Structure 1
Amino acid sequence: MRGMTLAVFLDSLFISRSYSRPRCSNDNAFIESWHRTLKYSVGYPKQFSTISTARIWYADFVAWYNSCHLHSGLSYVTPIQVRKGEAQQLYSERNKTIIEAKAAHPERWRKGKTRTYALPAVTAFYRPAEKAVC
């Protein structure tokens, strides 16, 4: 008896095939976004003269990324502002300003919708371990 290929077998079970490899950084959208921000930053050098120079540059970049860079996924606040609890105050001030601007100039909002700033819902992208592995 002749067996079928894996592709045909999976298709017969209506299972879609994935060509991504587990734990491959090319498939991690978060690290890919971070890496693009890193590569397109103004001070990114073509090469580093020493390993210590590279470590210093990367440490400075991470500090800037966490404390100065406004993240669109966090409604344009920094991670440090979120961790310190300052984000909610910023969001309420922004939302209040937008509502006041809409009341003063309603013609600028043709569809009637305004942007609302808030933290995104927290979701888990991992499956928790059932048993602790030591």
Structure 2
Amino acid sequence: MAATAPGQLWSWDVTELKGPARQRYKLYLVIDVFSRYPVGWRIEHREDTAMAVDMFAIAFTRYGAPQVLHADNGAIMRSRDLLDALQAAQIEASFSRPRVSDDNPFSESLFKTIKYDLACPDRFDDIDHARAWTTAFLAGYAGEHRHSGLGWHTPASVFDGTAAHQRQHRQTLLNRQYLAHPQRFRRPPRAPEIPAIVGINHRRTTQPLSQTG
């Protein structure tokens, strides 16, 4: 499946964060695949279907419902209550193929980015510490992180559509530089493109998600 605009395809997963001693916290995280923008998250002591349903209800109210929600095959992802909530919102549920470990790459990539960040504690002092740190990290990731897969734009600017104007501004500056100093360039410079289609196994998909509906 593939998206050609924000809001069409979301991906989500749950990962574990270490607390003191043997305590473990669960980070639920939902992202818009086209922009990599985090549209919903929460940290709790356990995986719980009701908490996941509540997280999505808040995200749908704030951003609107996507056409497709992708996840792996965990029990909470396939829970009846969550699937009923998706059906009520007219969202198609998509799941990773059995025994394929890399079918949810966007969520896994962001989890890796979080855990490998140099400022990420090896262990959090308590759940409030984990929530506060993650709040700050995701705000910076969304609004400040220049993503290589987004033409060096931020997830927030791709999600809200301002990246297209930013790219045009970059191109205008490059055009001026080229006209002023053509000898410095082997060819006219081009600002990196924002990908037109982004998806999960989209090369196996015959049609991208519709931009309407």
TM-score category by the smaller chain?
0.5 to 0.7
Identify the residue that residue 122 of structure 1 maps to in structure 2: 197
Q: What pairs with 1:29-68 in structure 2 (closer than 5 Å)?
A: 29-68=105-144
Q: What pairs with 1:12-91 in structure 2 (closer than 5 Å)?
A: 21-22=99-100, 24=101, 28-91=104-167
Q: What pairs with 1:88-99 in structure 2 (closer than 5 Å)?
A: 88-99=164-175
Is the 8 Å Cα contact of residues 88 and 118 (structure 1) preserved in structure 2?
Answer: no
Letter matched to residue 57 of structure 1: W
User: 1:100 Cα deviation (Å)?
Assistant: 1.0
CA distance in 2: counterparts of 1:125 and 1:40, whole angstroms: 23
User: 1:76 Cα deviation (Å)?
Assistant: 1.4
Letter matched to residue 65 of structure 1: Y
TM-score under structure 2 length normalisation: 0.43
Q: Name structure 1 gaps, 5 residues minimum.
A: 1-19, 129-134
- Cα deviation, 1:18-69, whole Å, max 9, x if unaligned, reads xx933x3x66443443234323434211211112211221222122211111
TM-score under structure 1 length normalisation: 0.64
CA distance in 2: counterparts of 1:107 and 1:100, whole angstroms: 13
Query: What is the Cα-based RMSD across aligned positions, in Å?
Result: 2.6
Report the structure number with the largest CA radius of gyration.
1
With a CA cutoff of 8 Å and minimum separation of 6, indicate the structure with the bigger relative contact order: 2
Letter matched to residue 92 of structure 1: Q
CA distance in 2: counterparts of 1:39 and 1:123, whole angstroms: 24
Is the 8 Å Cα contact of residues 151 and 194 (structure 2) preserved in structure 1?
Answer: yes
Aligned-residue sequence identity (percent) comes to: 35
Q: Point out 4+ residue stretches in structure 1 off by more than 3 angstroms.
A: 26-29
Secondary structure at the counterpart of residue 43 of structure 1: coil
Letter matched to residue 137 of structure 2: F
Count of residues in correspondence between the two structures: 106
Is the 8 Å Cα contact of residues 104 and 200 (structure 2) preserved in structure 1?
Answer: no
